[in-house]
């Protein structure tokens, strides 16, 4: 019976109506604060996970996971591509010719990176087919001098499908009339839109046309590889380069876009830490609640001690009470956070339709909706951390209650 005593009395103190309404108010505030803190932390981390996922699938769906290049270019690239596709973690390979240049049209100019590609191979290493808003990659036929532009690039140039643009490349052509920059007229055959700055600085043309423009013959710049796990890009790239020997080099996505994803991860950790402070404040409000309860229950504690309750039993009573308040707040907060994380995209869309206010302008941000991706690991870490903070907040008030001497209390009763 004595083993059950702390639980029976502690839970009864949670349910009991107190004469001091201020204690009840502080107890309710602690529970609500813990609930809201846990729910908001789950929601915010889920939204950041959603942005991280969108960036990872969109940007790294367009940017090669790794590039294998050779000094002087590659000629027998087909055999090498077949060989690399048989390696572990490599799921696709495609040739490319890359050329920086300046597009000009209607008196406007815009710098861009032009990728010369083979349309039949591109789906192995890129998601551009899924984001074509006008036209198709199949229109990039050799000798047609067609080009596919990013949405922002096309808007900055004021062109659409069927319009003509001039590509100026930073290479000189020596003619009897002097030295002139090399340029070529292209026809816009398609427009893609994936978001971020890629739409403003990326264009695609047929690899044969870019070879002709660059006077490369049958040589390609290298191979772009798609991996089954982008976080193994560094190790896979090093293995491939070591196997191929000298004359080859590899560049993986961490060199070109690694800083972006490191920044996202750092922001997630910092925001998570700051929001955890809210949970900690709510958890340690339980300290003030229990201290006031202990002061209010001096007589009860003294009576329990006189009938044989040990200091450890008294301590466990108030630990049970504090943990009950915390667990209720954590459980309700986790449930609320999960519901909000799973429905926040629909809720924001409904609010935008109701008020006409758009939170994420697609002209500024790379997506027009609020993404959310709930991860059970985040929920577990948040709930576990809140539980530990709640447990720690009960120790001091429970220790004070265990030190109460019954003789001193009952002397004045």
What is the pLDDT confidence band of residue 2, given thresholds at 50, 70 and 90? very low
Residues in the chain: 413
* Residue 60 near residue 252 (C-beta atoms within 8 A): no
* Residue 46 near residue 371 (C-beta atoms within 8 A): no
Provide mean pLDDT across the span 343-363: 78
What is d(CA 331, CA 333) in angstroms, rounded to the nearest whole number? Answer: 5
Question: Strand locations in 176-270, DSSP E?
Answer: 178-192, 202-206, 220-227, 248-252
Over residues 261-310, the pLDDT tens digits come to: 777 677 777 877 777 787 777 777 778 777 877 777 777 777 777 777 78
Average pLDDT of every residue of the chain:
81
Q: Residue 173: how many CB atoms within 10 A of its CB? A: 12
What is the pLDDT confidence band of residue 177, given thresholds at 50, 70 and 90? very low
Residues 53-88 as b or e (16 or more Cβ within 10 Å = b): ebbeebbbbbbbbbbbbbeebbeebeebbeebeeee
Which of 352, 351, 283, 267 lies closest to 47 in space, CA to CA? 267
Crossing angle for the helix pair 5-15 and 311-355, to the nearest 10 degrees = 40
Least confident of 62-66, 236-240, 382-386: 62-66
- What radius of gyration, in Å, describes the C-alpha atoms of the chain? 33
pLDDT of 1: 40
What is the pLDDT confidence band of residue 32, given thresholds at 50, 70 and 90? confident
**DSSP characters for 396-409?**
HHHHHHHT--HHHH
* Residue 187 near residue 146 (C-beta atoms within 8 A): yes
CB burial of residue 323 (10 Å; 0-12, 13-18, 19+): buried
Q: What is the SS3 assignment for 16-53? A: CCCCCHHHHHHHHHHHHHHHHHHHHHHHHHHHHHHHHH
CA 384 to chain centre: 22
Over residues 243-267, the pLDDT tens digits come to: 887 888 888 888 877 676 777 677 7
Whole-model pTM: value is 0.70
Provide mean pLDDT across the span 174-182: 55
What is the pLDDT confidence band of residue 189, given thresholds at 50, 70 and 90? very high
Which of 13, 38, 34, 9 lies closest to 24 in space, CA to CA? 13
* Residue 154 near residue 103 (C-beta atoms within 8 A): no
Longest CA span, the chain:
116
Percent of the chain scoring above 90 in pLDDT: 11
Domain ranges of the chain: 4-58+262-410, 76-218
Q: What is the SS3 assignment for 152-188? A: HHHHHHCCCCCCEEEEEEEEEEEECCEEEEEEEEEEE
CA 352 to chain centre: 23
Provide mean pLDDT across the span 6-20: 64
């Amino acid at each position: 019976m004595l083993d059950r005593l702390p639980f029976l009395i502690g839970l009864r103190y949670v349910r009991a109506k107190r004469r001091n309404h201020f204690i009840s108010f502080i107890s309710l505030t602690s529970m609500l604060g813990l609930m809201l803190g846990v729910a908001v932390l789950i929601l915010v981390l889920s939204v950041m996970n959603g942005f991280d996922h969108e960036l990872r699938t969109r940007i790294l769906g367009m940017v090669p996971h790794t590039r294998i290049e050779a000094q002087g270019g590659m000629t027998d690239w087909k055999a090498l591509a077949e060989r690399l596709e048989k390696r572990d973690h490599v799921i696709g390979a495609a040739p490319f010719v890359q050329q920086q240049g300046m597009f000009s049209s209607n008196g406007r100019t815009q710098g861009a990176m032009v990728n010369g590609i083979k349309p039949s191979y591109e789906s192995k290493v890129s998601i551009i087919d899924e984001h074509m808003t006008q036209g198709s990659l199949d229109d990039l036929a050799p000798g047609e001098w067609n080009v596919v532009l990013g949405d922002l690039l096309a808007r900055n140039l004021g062109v659409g499908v069927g319009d003509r643009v001039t590509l100026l490349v930073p290479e000189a052509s020596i003619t009897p009339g002097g030295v002139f920059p090399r340029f070529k007229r292209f026809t816009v055959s398609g427009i893609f839109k994936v978001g971020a700055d890629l739409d403003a600085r990326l264009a695609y043309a047929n690899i044969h046309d870019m070879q002709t423009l660059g006077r490369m013959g049958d040589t390609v710049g290298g191979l772009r590889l798609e991996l089954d796990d982008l976080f193994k890009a560094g190790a896979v790239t090093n293995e491939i380069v070591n196997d191929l020997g000298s004359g080859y080099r590899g560049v993986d996505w961490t060199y070109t876009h690694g800083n972006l994803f490191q920044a996202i991860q750092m922001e997630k950790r910092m925001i998570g830490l700051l929001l955890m402070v809210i949970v900690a404040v709510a958890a340690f409000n339980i300290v003030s609640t229990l201290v006031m309860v202990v002061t209010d229950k001096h007589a009860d504690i003294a009576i329990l001690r006189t009938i044989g309750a040990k200091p450890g039993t008294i301590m466990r009573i108030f630990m049970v009470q504090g943990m009950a308040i915390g667990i209720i707040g954590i459980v309700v907060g986790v449930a609320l956070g999960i519901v909000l994380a799973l429905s926040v995209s629909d809720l924001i869309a409904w609010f935008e339709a109701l008020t006409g206010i758009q939170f994420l302008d697609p002209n500024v941000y790379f997506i027009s909706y609020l993404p959310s991706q709930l991860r059970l690991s985040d929920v577990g870490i948040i709930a576990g951390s809140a539980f530990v903070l709640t447990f720690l907040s009960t120790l001091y008030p429970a220790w004070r209650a265990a030190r109460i001497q019954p003789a001193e209390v009952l002397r004045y009763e």
